Amino acid sequence: MSRALNFNAGPASLPFAALARARDELIDFDGSGMSVMEHSHRGKVYEKVHHEATALVAELLELPKDYDVLFVQGGASMAFAQIPMNFLEAGKTADYIVTGAWGEKAVSEARAMSKAANGGEVHMAASTQQDKTYVRVPRQDELSLTPGAAYVHCTSNETIHGVEYALGPSTPFPKVQAPLICDMSSDILGRRVDMTQFDVVYGGAQKNIGPSGVTIVIAKKSMLDRGRKDLPAIFQYRTHAENKSLYNTPPTFGIYLVRNTLAWLKSEGGVAAIEARNVKKAAALYDTIDGSGGFYRCPVDKACRSIMNVVWRLPTPELEEAFVKEAEAQQMIGLKGHRSVGGIRASIYNAVEPAWVDALAAFMKDFAKRRG
């Protein structure tokens, strides 16, 4: 069997080791005579997997003790609504910093939820949309923050536009007074980030963490305590924290695959090691783009270029189509840009192997030579 060179944006490539482990353990999990999917979510066999997955998230992200890790459902898209439902009380304002399409969706859902649930105001604290093209994050002096805001919401990596905050151990998010909530769907665990600057972080698992169907929520316990209590229990993040994500039946097989994926990440040296690899992968593509004499063009400001989703254009839509088609013939999958923006996008998450990226860069050089 030959593995496809999978550059899909999400669901995305999973580590081969995580899949092979699932194959080996599928029929008879841990000598129990059944698969992990068939176990009760209240039984010892599954519980061990569940707690290992939770503990791996906390360990790999170096979370302090006052954070909870939750596995819920509904995707990041449901969190767009559930975050304001829980944390935007009447009489308060939530500030949204929008740097791409996902941030736009978050604002729109917050507005709808605020109306439906008698919540507070939604305020656009900054948007770097310029004629529908997001190419950078706002500067600190561009933020219009509300004093006493319920929270500030941001998207650390905009998956569609390839725009990322340059976060690192010594590069914090711009200073804000209110609790900071971050959609980290597409860059969580891809680089070292000081998680303690965030009060809530959430994301769909299907980029860097595992398969779709699992949503991760990481939250400060004190923030969860402040959430609205007049909501149905299932919608309160508090409920899931109090029940260690076992309030109702969780997506057990998905969480099992998260366990496999994170165990692989740990065995590879954790976030610091994968970050070094990711930075090199991204540089191989950006260097090829910048060295193409203008044949390939990345619209994103250099300081905000994503190391997870690399986007670029070719001189014409016809050439872009030919590029994607020829790449597919060489087993390189998922390079078409998002339908809303066009162009090319290579998603190079943790599980995307450096050799695949090298092959893509070589193909880019060859294509430019032939068609440039």
Residue with tokens 């994170």: 262
User: Nearer Cβ to ligand PLP, position 163 or 224?
Assistant: 163
Q: Is 249 annotated as a binding residue?
A: yes
Token output for 122: 């939604």
- As measured in angstroms, the least distance from the Cβ of 185 to ligand PLP is 4
Q: Which amino acid is at 357?
A: V
Residue 258 interacting with ligand PLP (CB under 6 A): no
Stretch that binds ligand PLP, among 43-51, 183-191, 224-232, 255-263 (CB under 6 A): 183-191
User: Nearer Cβ to ligand PLP, position 155 or 236?
Assistant: 155
Which one of residues 54, 99, 155, 239 is an interface residue with ligand PLP (CB under 6 A)?
155
User: Nearer Cβ to ligand PLP, position 75 or 337?
Assistant: 75
User: Nearer Cβ to ligand PLP, position 189 or 361?
Assistant: 189
Residue 8 interacting with ligand PLP (CB under 6 A): no
From the list 294, 234, 282, 262, the residue with the least C-alpha distance to 53 is 262
- Per-residue mark of binding to ligand PLP, 98-137 (x: CB under 6 A): ----x-----------------------------------
Active site residues: 102, 183, 207
> Running DSSP on this structure, what letter comes out for residue 36?
G
CA-to-CA distance for 51 and 47, rounded, in angstroms? 6
Residue 334 interacting with ligand PLP (CB under 6 A): no
User: Nearer Cβ to ligand PLP, position 53 or 79?
Assistant: 79
Q: Rule CB under 6 A: which of 185-204 touch ligand PLP?
A: 185-186, 204
Q: Which amino acid is at 40?
A: S
Q: Is 356 annotated as a binding residue?
A: no
Which one of residues 68, 183, 275, 320 is an interface residue with ligand PLP (CB under 6 A)?
183
Beta bridge partners, 297, equal 313
Q: Is 171 annotated as a binding residue?
A: no
Stretch that binds ligand PLP, among 141-149, 181-189, 216-224, 333-341 (CB under 6 A): 181-189
Q: Is 183 annotated as a binding residue?
A: yes
- Per-residue mark of binding to ligand PLP, 56-95 (x: CB under 6 A): -------------------xxx------------------
Are the C-beta atoms of residues 207 and 7 closer than 8 Å to each other?
no
CA angle 202, 203, 206 (to 5 degrees): 160
CA-to-CA distance for 271 and 62, rounded, in angstroms? 10
Token output for 171: 């590069």
Residue 210 interacting with ligand PLP (CB under 6 A): no
Residue with tokens 């070292």: 192
184 CB neighbour count, 10 Å cutoff: 27
**DSSP per residue over 255-271, as a string?**
HHHHHHHHHHHHHTTHH
Question: Which helix (DSSP H) or strand (DSSP E) does residue 174 occupy?
Answer: none
CA-to-CA distance for 219 and 196, rounded, in angstroms? 10
Q: Is 248 annotated as a binding residue?
A: yes
68 CB neighbour count, 10 Å cutoff: 22
Residue 347 interacting with ligand PLP (CB under 6 A): no
Total site size for ligand PLP, rule CB under 6 A:
11
Which one of residues 10, 84, 119, 210 is an interface residue with ligand PLP (CB under 6 A)?
10
User: Nearer Cβ to ligand PLP, position 154 or 364?
Assistant: 154
The CA distances from residue 21 to 15, 26, 28, 209, 258, in Å, are: 10, 8, 12, 16, 12
* Pairing outcome for strands 157-158 and 163-164: antiparallel
CA-to-CA distance for 184 and 129, rounded, in angstroms? 19
From the list 311, 211, 305, 218, the residue with the least C-alpha distance to 261 is 211
User: Nearer Cβ to ligand PLP, position 81 or 364?
Assistant: 81
Q: List residues forming the annotated binding site.
A: 42, 76-77, 102, 159, 183, 206, 248-249
Which residues make up each annotated binding site for pyridoxal 5'-phosphate? 76-77, 102, 159, 183, 206, 248-249
Residues annotated as binding site for L-glutamate? 42
Chain residues binding ligand PLP by CB under 6 A are 10, 75-77, 102, 155, 159, 183, 185-186, 204
